């Protein structure tokens, strides 16, 4: 697949010698890049390679310290995102730039010029969301949206600006396979119409399928380029990380231990009128197994995670049993004291406090491991734990005193995962464990989860990446409409079957029964 031949020599964006230096790191070092009209151009690299920083400079969020940027042949200095949008540059951020207290339509209106009629804009949002298979309600408040739904808003907001260059930073990280296919159709159509696309993703099979060319960054420098269609995911991984991609070793568990998590008819009525209530969920997870939950974003995952973490405790103890003790009314710290670790899907805000240092963020959840003595912080233990996490999980940062917000998305994810894994909890609940993490680090994290399982930890993984769930899970279920499907062993199911179940169509489900009745009536 190649761009429109008549436009292949028309360079839309050209970067020459772009350099960006921060106090602790050289983010970009003499980067040269050309993006042509109608071209889908991938930027590959490990976490911390400088991809997002480069995109932010193109979009006007950051300023280069050296080098020049040409837009349609003319040297430009992009002052800010509004200036970038006026040129025709749009960007879908990995960390969402949405105001949580505003509605979807209000957030979209902020990115558009002139006086906007919100009623007309709501109609346009609905039309675009339907056309591109990215369903979202224009009147919903953003704080009530799941991560996947927020990503849809970011994408729709960009598409409404009719960009000449669309920058996408991990756009499919929390989309379902069906939504990814629809998004790819959209991007191909945009490219055919002349839009240039800069595409960052750690999913190398997506790069191979979608992108015309790829530029590889390592430690802030361009180290090569390739044509993805002529490569394999393995060869591209080697270009990125300089070595072969590690493969997870996952054997079927021989025997299971005690029940570490039991849900007894868990029912939660959502306070959000647009939320999804949980309906009579039963579940048991044993020591020594990984239980995966798949599902389309917005089907009750957020409500389930809040109920499990203790951030929204129940009125009764009995529906949630952690390590043998009824815990439905317990708060998060009390649940951790029972042996539970927790990784939320939102890195900044829930997983880590942006302004606090990495060491201080460690203290928030790992203080029970000898970091407090009669209420006094044991700083050496706190810093030692933080250094161990940084080293083992290869977190690229400015040290244990670096602010969480200074890390790239993938490096922050590695840090949060490492912080919980190193505590060796009896039960670990994880949402989107490798969101935004490069292929090498993703394989490492998945292997760490498997190794924890082998040591006897019970692990619940909620993810929208089916390939990930099939790589690490022992049993799998689907959440749809607030209901949980019957669990299945991995050997007894397939990605296709689970994909069908994600619509709520599993045996004995209400939807399946209704469909069966419709078929009989039609007959």
pLDDT at position 522, please? Answer: 40
Residue 18 region, left (φ>0) first, then alpha (ψ -120 to 50), else beta? Answer: beta
Report helix angle 409-421 to 439-454, nearest 10: 10
* pLDDT tens per residue across all 523 residues of the chain: 444 444 456 999 999 999 999 877 889 999 999 999 999 999 998 877 888 899 999 999 999 999 999 999 999 999 999 899 999 999 987 667 789 899 999 999 988 888 899 999 999 999 988 877 778 899 999 988 877 788 789 888 888 888 999 999 888 766 666 677 878 888 898 899 899 999 998 888 889 999 999 999 988 999 889 999 999 888 888 888 776 666 777 777 777 899 999 999 999 998 887 789 999 999 999 999 999 999 987 899 999 999 999 999 999 999 999 999 999 999 999 999 999 999 998 888 889 999 999 999 999 999 988 899 988 999 999 999 999 999 999 898 889 999 998 888 788 999 999 999 999 999 999 999 988 777 778 888 999 999 999 999 999 999 988 888 999 999 999 999 999 999 999 989 998 899 889 888 888 766 544 443 333 334 3
Relative to beta strand 340-343, strand 427-431 is parallel
pLDDT at position 258, please? Answer: 95
pLDDT at position 151, please? Answer: 79
Structural domain spans, the chain: 8-241, 259-339+425-516
pLDDT at position 354, please? Answer: 92
Q: What is the pTM of this model?
A: 0.70
Write out 192-233 in H/E/C secondary structure.
Answer: HCCCEEEEECCCHHHHHHHCCEEEEEECCEEEEEECHHHCCH
Number of other residues whose CB lies within 10 A of the CB of residue 480? 21
pLDDT at position 176, please? Answer: 64
pLDDT at position 9, please? Answer: 63
pLDDT at position 469, please? Answer: 93
For CA atoms 292, 295, 299, 302, give the dihedral sign: positive
Architecture of domain 8-241: 3-Layer(aba) Sandwich (3.40)
**Cα–Cα distance, 423 to 162 (Å, whole number):** 48
pLDDT tens digit sequence for 396-447: 888 999 999 888 878 899 999 999 999 999 999 999 998 877 777 888 899 9
**Cα–Cα distance, 523 to 520 (Å, whole number):** 5
Topology at the third CATH level for domain 259-339+425-516: Rossmann fold (3.40.50)
pLDDT at position 175, please? Answer: 66
Contacts of 6 (CB under 8 A, 6+ apart): none
**Cα–Cα distance, 120 to 130 (Å, whole number):** 16
Q: By C-alpha distance, which of 403, 434, 405, 402 is closest to 418?
A: 434
């Amino acid at each position: 697949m190649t761009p429109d031949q008549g436009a292949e020599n028309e360079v839309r964006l050209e970067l020459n010698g772009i350099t960006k230096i921060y106090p602790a790191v050289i983010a970009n070092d003499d980067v040269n890049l050309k993006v042509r009209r109608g071209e889908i151009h991938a930027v590959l690299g490990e976490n911390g390679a400088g991809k997002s920083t480069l995109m932010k400079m193109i979009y006007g969020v950051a300023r280069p310290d050296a080098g020049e940027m040409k837009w349609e042949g003319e040297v430009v200095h992009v002052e800010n995102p509004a200036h970038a949008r006026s040129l025709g540059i749009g960007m879908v951020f990995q960390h969402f730039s949405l105001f949580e207290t505003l509605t979807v339509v209000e957030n979209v209106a902020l990115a558009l010029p002139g006086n906007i009629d919100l009623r007309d804009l709501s109609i346009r949002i609905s039309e675009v969301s339907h056309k591109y298979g990215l369903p979202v309600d224009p009147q919903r408040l953003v704080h009530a949206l799941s991560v996947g739904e927020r990503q849809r808003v970011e994408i729709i907001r960009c598409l409404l600006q009719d960009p000449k260059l669309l920058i996408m930073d991990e756009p499919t990280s929390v989309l379902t396979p069906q939504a990814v296919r629809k998004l790819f159709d959209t991007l191909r159509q945009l490219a055919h119409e002349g839009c240039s696309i800069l595409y960052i993703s750690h999913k190398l099979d997506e790069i191979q399928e979608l992108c015309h060319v790829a530029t590889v960054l390592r430690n802030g420098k361009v180290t090569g380029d390739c044509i993805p269609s002529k490569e394999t995911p393995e060869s591209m991984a080697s270009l990125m990380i300089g070595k072969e991609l590690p493969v997870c070793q996952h054997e079927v568990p021989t025997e299971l231990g005690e029940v570490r998590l039991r849900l007894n008819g868990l029912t939660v009525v959502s306070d959000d009128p647009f939320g999804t209530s949980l309906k009579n969920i039963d579940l048991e997870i044993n020591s020594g197994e990984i239980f995966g939950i798949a599902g389309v974003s917005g089907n009750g995952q957020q409500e389930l995670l809040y109920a499990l973490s203790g951030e929204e405790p129940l009125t009764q103890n009995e529906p949630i049993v952690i390590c043998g003790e009824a815990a439905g009314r317990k708060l998060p710290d009390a649940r951790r004291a029972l042996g539970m670790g927790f990784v939320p899907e939102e890195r900044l805000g829930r997983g880590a406090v942006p302004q606090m240092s990495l060491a201080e963020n460690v203290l928030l959840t790992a203080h029970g491991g000898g970091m407090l003595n009669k209420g006094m912080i044991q700083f050496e233990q706190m810093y030692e734990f933080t250094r161990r996490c940084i080293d083992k999980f290869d977190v690229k940062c400015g040290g244990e005193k670096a602010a969480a917000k200074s890390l790239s998305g993938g490096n922050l994810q590695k840090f949060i995962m490492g912080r919980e894994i190193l505590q060796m909890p009896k039960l670990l609940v994880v949402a989107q464990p490798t969101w935004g993490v490069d292929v090498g680090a993703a394989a490492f994290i998945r292997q760490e989860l498997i190794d924890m399982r082998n040591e006897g930890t019970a692990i619940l993984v909620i993810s929208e990446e089916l390939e990930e769930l099939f790589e690490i899970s022992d049993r799998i279920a689907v959440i749809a409409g607030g209901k949980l499907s019957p669990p299945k062993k991995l050997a007894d199911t397939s990605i296709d079957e689970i994909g069908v179940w994600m619509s709520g169509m599993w045996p004995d489900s209400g939807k399946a029964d209704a469909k069966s009745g419709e078929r009989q009536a039609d007959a």
